[in-house]
Amino acid sequence: MKPISLGNDNFEDLVRNGSYYVDKTKAIEEILESGFEVLLYTRPRRFGKSLFISMLENFFDIDKKEKNKDLFKDLYIFKSPYYKEFGNYPVIRLTFKDLKQNTYEEFFAWFELLIREIYQEKYYVKEVLEDYELKIFERIINRTATRNDYENSIEYMSCWLERYHQKRVIILIDEYDAPIQYSCSKGYYNELINFINNFLYFSFRCNDSLKFGVLIGVLEVYSTFSGDINALVFDMLSNDYKDSFGFTENETKELLEHYGLELTSEVKEYYQYNMNGINIYNPWNILNYARDKSLKSYWLNTSGNDLIIKLLSEISEENKIKIEKLLTGESIEFSYNKNIKYFNFDKEPDINSILNLMYMTGYLTIDKKVEDEFGLGYRNRYYLKIPNNEGKKLIIDIIIFVDEDDSYEIRNGIDNFEDALLENNKEEMENSLNKMLKYILYMDVEENFYHGYMLGIFQGFLRGQYIVKSNREAGLGNFDVLIESIDRTFGCIMEFKISEKESEMENLAKKAKKQMKEKEYYKELQLEKIENIKEYALIFCGKKCIVR
């Protein structure tokens, strides 16, 4: 059985160590066939973007040709006619993932170190430099260069590498938008974007030594690509490269079977993501699940949500209510417009831009597209929804708990509720829920709102030691929520009802208990040989709940 390597974005290491690798080398063939000079790929975090860049570097880099000659022999590209391009070009690879500083001055100091590292790596080009070029080179190495030197630094190095190798250059930039995103929350976006614009312009548009360039990020930063470098953008709505990032359904099924697991309906509901018509799975989730064999949230805690929390905390109450409706399973219409994917967040946040941001970062997904009746394309209407059950936990954390002053009370309420559930303390379950419900804004409620709310709470239930199932057939009907411990020592079933009047809540509770008994939902747990089974009726009325 192949080892699982988590958090390792080094393609060479994965292959040489025999770790499980999902072959994405067909994209190399597609890039070469396209003939495009600059390509930008945008995907959410943990979708294999950095590994993709590492794959390209190890395939094309002329400096690695001898070392990597056997690296691709078992992969798709080895049998392609384009394998002749293996090890054929000098490569400059940069990653901006660490360029997340609190001030512009701190950012620039780190940027200097990044470029200095590139120059040290390519030190051999000094052999072909003129005297005036040597001075530029030494200024970069000694960190005495001007801003203009740094803006032109990759263009200079490309020229020198082409002169040395007699081959045009490939430029790869990973997480190019990381410092841009971070600068928004730290207040130096305008200063930084001006520098980044110039740097990319000289690296790509004014670079006569360029074979092609690839940029990877989460978002398309419109001001950076407004005609300056002519990048062809492949985002989540593009038909090309749809399966180049993330795992397809077949790839996921094959991977799980390798580790003795199945791609069950539970796994699909928890991790499945729709990307322009095909089902895609986040590699971080699937690899963690294959290793731990525990169905729980892995992706949610891999990055901060500071910017989205900041933006959502500033929108109107009306828009907060609109977003909270996502928990009902509803979809929200938004305008997908490349011109507004990123903007100066120092200004008053625009709800449509925030929805675009949440879509591009993977917190929401496209539910459906309504074609423009005039066939113009750019006037198509799109609808967003929560992508999967894991996403419900995120929506609880980010959207409903967006007020930091309330965050402690709500999280404390969740912990108390979970403890009370395991102790069969219905009174404390009720008290904890009522404390949490007072923070919701959404009042035009239906059962599916509370259903989504409760699922959001349960997605992190006791750190994944319990399996949570929703809306499944059992006995003679369909239960709302079923929870069972992995060690099969505990199970419970929940039925949710909505009451328009508080005076009717007790009657509804009796009906719910009767329904659970008549429908025999408990048989689902008995089949798992669970003896300790509890049944709860949760009746909601506005911001009040009773547990019976």
Domain end marker among 270, 292, 314: 292
DSSP string, 77-138: GGGSGGGGGTT-B-EEEEE-TT---SSHHHHHHHHHHHHHHHHHHTGGGGGG--HHHHHHHH
Mean per-residue pLDDT of the chain: 85
At residue 402, the pLDDT reads: 53
At residue 41, the pLDDT reads: 92
Q: pTM value?
A: 0.78
Lowest-pLDDT choice from 127-136, 243-252, 326-335: 326-335
Lowest-pLDDT choice from 126-135, 243-252, 524-533: 524-533
Lowest-pLDDT choice from 312-321, 340-349, 367-376, 468-477: 340-349
Domain shared by 34 and 140, yes or no:
yes
Whether 518 is covered by a domain: the verdict is: yes
Is pLDDT larger for residue 396 or for residue 154?
Answer: 154
At residue 226, the pLDDT reads: 45
CA dihedral 391, 393, 395, 399 (to 10 degrees): -160
Range of the domain at 285: 247-292
Domain shared by 507 and 364, yes or no:
no
Q: How far apart are CA 180 and CA 96, in angstroms?
A: 10
At residue 166, the pLDDT reads: 97
Whether 374 is covered by a domain: the verdict is: yes
Domain shared by 53 and 92, yes or no:
yes
pLDDT at 406 over 70: no
The highest-confidence range among 65-69, 233-237, 397-401, 460-464, by mean pLDDT, is: 65-69
Whether 6 is covered by a domain: the verdict is: no
Percent of the chain with pLDDT over 90: 44
Percent of the chain with pLDDT over 70: 85
Domain shared by 103 and 203, yes or no:
yes
Which pairing describes strands 210-217 and 272-275: parallel, antiparallel, or unpaired? unpaired
Domain shared by 74 and 129, yes or no:
yes
Return the CATH number at 534: 3.90.1570
pLDDT tens by residue, 61-103? 999 999 999 999 999 999 999 999 999 999 999 999 889 888 9
Whether 239 is covered by a domain: the verdict is: no
At residue 407, the pLDDT reads: 58
At residue 469, the pLDDT reads: 78
Domain shared by 495 and 527, yes or no:
yes
Domain shared by 110 and 76, yes or no:
yes
Give mean pLDDT, residues 169-174.
Answer: 98
pLDDT at 375 over 70: no
Structure letter (DSSP) for residue 423:
T
Q: How far apart are CA 400 and CA 397, in angstroms?
A: 6
Domain shared by 62 and 211, yes or no:
yes
Determine whether 539 is exposed, middle or buried from the number of CB atoms within 10 Å of its CB (0-12, 13-18, 19+).
buried
**What domain count does the chain have?**
4
At residue 91, the pLDDT reads: 98
pLDDT tens by residue, 141-156? 999 999 999 999 999 9
**In this structure, what are the phi and psi dihedrals at residue 370, rounded to the nearest 5 degrees?**
-110, 115
Return the CATH number at 23: 3.40.50
Residue 3: pLDDT band by 50, 70, 90 thresholds? very high
Whether 93 is covered by a domain: the verdict is: yes
Is pLDDT larger for residue 348 or for residue 383?
Answer: 383
CB 214 within 8 A of CB 92: no
pLDDT tens by residue, 44-65? 888 999 999 999 999 999 999 9
Domain end marker among 350, 367, 390: 390
Give mean pLDDT, residues 364-373.
Answer: 77
Give mean pLDDT, residues 362-378.
Answer: 72
At residue 143, the pLDDT reads: 92
Residue 341: pLDDT band by 50, 70, 90 thresholds? very low
CB 126 within 8 A of CB 91: no
Whether 2 is covered by a domain: the verdict is: no
CB 497 within 8 A of CB 546: no
Whether 538 is covered by a domain: the verdict is: yes
- Here the contacts of 500-509 (C-beta below 8 Å, separation 24 or greater) are 500/541, 501/541, 502/541, 502/544, 505/539, 505/541, 505/544, 505/546, 506/539, 506/546, 506/548, 508/537, 508/539, 509/537, 509/539, 509/546, 509/548
Domain shared by 51 and 84, yes or no:
yes
pLDDT tens by residue, 23-39? 999 999 999 998 889 99
Tokens 């690798």 sit on residue: 21
Domain end marker among 335, 363, 390: 390
Domain shared by 20 and 87, yes or no:
yes
Lowest-pLDDT choice from 129-138, 141-150, 208-217, 305-314: 305-314
At residue 298, the pLDDT reads: 82
Domain shared by 346 and 375, yes or no:
yes
26 φψ region: left (φ > 0), alpha (ψ -120 to 50), beta (else): alpha
Q: How far apart are CA 191 and CA 418, in angstroms?
A: 47
At residue 412, the pLDDT reads: 75
Give mean pLDDT, residues 176-202.
Answer: 87
**What is the tally of helices (H) and strands (E) in the chain?**
22, 16
Give mean pLDDT, residues 174-195.
Answer: 86
pLDDT tens by residue, 481-497? 888 887 788 888 999 99
CA dihedral 222, 373, 323, 452 (to 10 degrees): -120
At residue 50, the pLDDT reads: 95
Go through 290-311 and write b for each residue having 16 or more CB atoms within 10 A of its CB, e for each that does not.
Answer: beeeebbbbbbeeeebebbbeb
pLDDT at 164 over 90: yes
Whether 1 is covered by a domain: the verdict is: no
Domain shared by 119 and 203, yes or no:
yes
pLDDT at 538 over 90: yes
